[in-house]
Amino acid sequence: SSDLPFICHTDHKISVEDVEYILSSHYNETPYDPFSRGHEDTKTLFRPISMNRTQNSHVLQIRNDVKNN
């Protein structure tokens, strides 16, 4: 949707574990699971960031307080 903001600010720091949790959500066993036997209207309403068949993904943490080697 064009109504979604480009940037959202959080009220706390986001950890690597937070990002991993978000990326691991595929809507499994919910009405929005694209591979379930649910109703077609809800199955395609949302698309997860990662699919359940994603083989490789990376979470990079960039920190400015670490010195170069």
pTM greater than 0.75: no
Within-domain flag for 58: no
Range of the domain at 39: 1-53
Place of tokens 């997860």: 48
Residues 46-58: tens digit of each pLDDT:
776 766 667 777 8
Within-domain flag for 60: no
Residues 3-43: tens digit of each pLDDT:
877 888 889 988 889 988 887 777 777 777 777 777 777 77
Within-domain flag for 67: no
CA distance 34 to 45: 9
For the chain, how many structural domains are there in total? 1
Within-domain flag for 63: no
Tokens representing 12? 């706390």
Q: Is 54 helix (H, G, I), strand (E, B) or coil?
A: coil
Q: Which residues of 24-40 are buried (b: 16+ CB within 10 A; e: fewer)?
A: eebbeeeebbbeeeeee
Neighbours of 47 (CB within 10 A): 10
